[in-house]
Structure 1
Amino acid sequence: MSKKPPQAAATGLTIRNSTAEFLIFTASAGENGIEVRYENETIWLTQKLMAELFDVERSVITKHLKNIFRDNELDENSVCANFAQTAADGKTYQTRFYNLDAIISVGYRVNSRRATQFRQWATRVLREFSIKGFVLDRKRLENGSFLGEDYFERLLAEIREIRLSERRFYQKVTDIYATSVDYNKDAPTTREFFAKVQNKLHYAIHGHTAAELIKQRADSRQDHMGLTSWENAPEGKILKTDVTVAKNYLTADELDSLGRIVNAYLDLAEDRAKRKIPMTMEDWAKRLDLFIEFNDRDILDNPGKISAQLAKDHAFSEFEKYRIIQDRLFESDFDKEVKALATAAEQVDDLAELQRIAEASKGRKKGGRYD
C-alpha cells in the first residue's frame, strides 16, 4: 500500500511528509512532465507511464518487460510492486509499478538517449534522498499541489499558539521549523538544525555557546551562583537541575535581545503564512542565519571551545560548593514561620512587660495621691 501524507486533525496542522510520494521528471524545458513515484528508496513507474516516458506504445513496454524477465535479466518479483492508485473515476485500484532497474532496462532497449536522461535525473533524486532525507518538487510546491485549502489557516493558528506558549526561546524557533511543509524529524537537516539552534542564538547575543556561557558564569562565589533565574526564584532554593540551563545565566538585557530575535522570527512565520508562502526545512534553517546577520550579530561557525559535558561537570562542581553556602543562608517557609512566631512571642512578652510596668506605675501614682 502506498504511504499517505499525514492528514490534519480537526485542531492540528497538516505537515507534508518529507519523502514526497510523487516527483515530476522533465528532461527539457517546455515538455510535459512525467509523474514519478518515490517509494522504498527507489523510483517507480507503471507500464503506461513508461510508454509516455520513452514515447512508444504500451504494448512495446509490455513486450520488453516479458523478454527481460524471460531472459532472467531481472527478477520480476524484485522489481515489481502493487500500489493503490486513485483513477479518474475516483475509485482506488491496485496498480502494478516497476522500479528504477526495470525502467532503465526497458529504456535501453527502446530509447537509450531518453533512458540515459532519466537515469541521470533519478540518480540525482535518490542521492538527495540519501543525503538530506527529502526531495521537493519546487514547481508543484509553489502552485499548491501539496497543500489543502485550509492549510495556511491552520498554519497561522499553529504559529500564534507557538508565540503564546511558555516554551523557551530556542524551543519556539524549533517549533516554527517543525511547521515546514516538508518536515521530517529524522532528516539530517532537522538533526543539524536542532543541534545548532540553541548555540546559534546564544552566540548571537553574548558571543559564547551555551556550554561556554555556563563554564564562564557558574561561580559558587557569586550571589545565587551567578544565576539570574531558576525554577523556584526568587525565594526558593537553587537546584542542581537549574545550574546546567544556559538561559538561567543571562542578564535582563541579554534576555530582551534574545526575545526580539525570536519574535522577529515568529513575525516572519506569520507573515509568510498570511501570504500563503510555504516554507521548507531548508528555508527556515537559512532564515535563522539571515535574521542573526540582519540584526548585526555574529553567526556561530564552529562547535565552540567547551563541550557540553565539561560545562555540566563545572556547573555541578560549583553547585556542590554553593550548596553549603545556600544551606547556611537559606530560610524555608517553615523557618520563616518559626521566626515569625518567635518574634510575635517576643512582642507579646514585651507587651506584657509594658502592661506590668504601666500597672505598677499607676499604683504608685494612686498611692501618692491618697497617702
Structure 2
Amino acid sequence: MAKNNFQKGEIVIYKTPKNEVEVEVRFEKETVWLRQDEIARLYGKERSVITKHINNIFRDKEVDKKSNVQKLHIAGSDKPVAFYSLDVILAVGYRTNSARAIHFRKWATNVLKRYLLKGYAINKKRLLQTRSRLKELQSAIDFLQKKSKYQLLTGQEKEILDLLANYSKTLSLLEQYDKGRIKLVKKSKAEFVLEYEEAKRIIKEIKKDLISKKEASDLFGQDNEGRLAGIIKNIYQTFKGKELYPSLEEKAAHLLYFIVKDHPFIDGNKRIASFLFVYFLDKNNFLYKENRERKINDNALTALTLLIAVSEPKDKDILIKIITNLIS
C-alpha cells in the first residue's frame, strides 16, 4: 500500500504483498472505485469471469447497482467507463475467494477506516467553528434586541433590524457549513494611514459646513485635552513589533468606537466619529460594495453610533465584531 495521507478524490496505489499486482484505487464518496479490468487484474481472473460475477451480484440484489456504479470519462476512451464501488469489489472478492482477495479486503478496510476517521476530525472541526459563529451571532442578536429598547434609540428600530440582517448575511453560516468552507472575516490591509493633523483638518471643514447650516455651535469639534491624538495613536499601537489592530476592519471599528465612547471633543463626538469612520473607509477604497452601494448607509451608521453610545464597556467586543462583519 502506498500513500497514507490521501485526500478525497485522489488515487491511492494498492500493491499485493509480493508486488505481483499494482492497482490505482480511486477514493471518492467515502468508498474506493475500480474498473472491471482492474478488478480482474486485482484478483488474477479473466475479465469475463469478473463480468459474470458482477452481473450475478446485481441480479441477486446483493449490492444496489444504481448507487455502486458510476460512469466516468477517462483518457484513451471515447465513451464513459464504468467504475465499481468497494461493495461490488468485495462481493466479487468473496465469490473468488483467494489470498489476494483476503489481502485486498484487509487493505481496503484499513484505508476506509483511516479516511472516515480523518473525515470525522475535519467535520468535527467544522462543527466547532460553526457553533462558535452561531454563538457569536446569537450574542449580537441578544445585544441588539436589548439595546433597541433603549430610549435614546427610539425611532431607530428599522435601522437596527437592518444592521442585524446585514450582520447575519455576512456570516453566511449555513451555506458555508454545507459547502465545507467556513471562513473567518477577511483581514484587509489598510493602505491609508490617518494622521492627527489630517483628522483635525477634516473636522475643521465639517464644523465650518455645519455652522453655516446652523447645525453646530463653536464648541463642536473642540479637542478635549488632546484625546483625539491618543485615539489615533491607539489604533496604530504595536506590542513587541506587532500591531494590536492589524486589519483595516479592526482599525476602522476601533476608530468609531473610541471616538464615540471616549468623548475626545466637547461637542459632536458621535457625528465626528461617523465622519472619520466613513472618511477612513473611503480613503482605503473600502466604503462601497462591488455594486457601488455603501456598506453602511447613513441611517444604519446613526443607529450603530447610538448603539455604541448606550453600550456598556463589557459590550465592546461584540460591537467590534458587529462593525468588522458589516464592513468586511
TM above 0.5, yes or no, is: no
Determine which structure has more spread, i.e. the larger CA radius of gyration.
1
TM range (shorter): 0.3 to 0.5
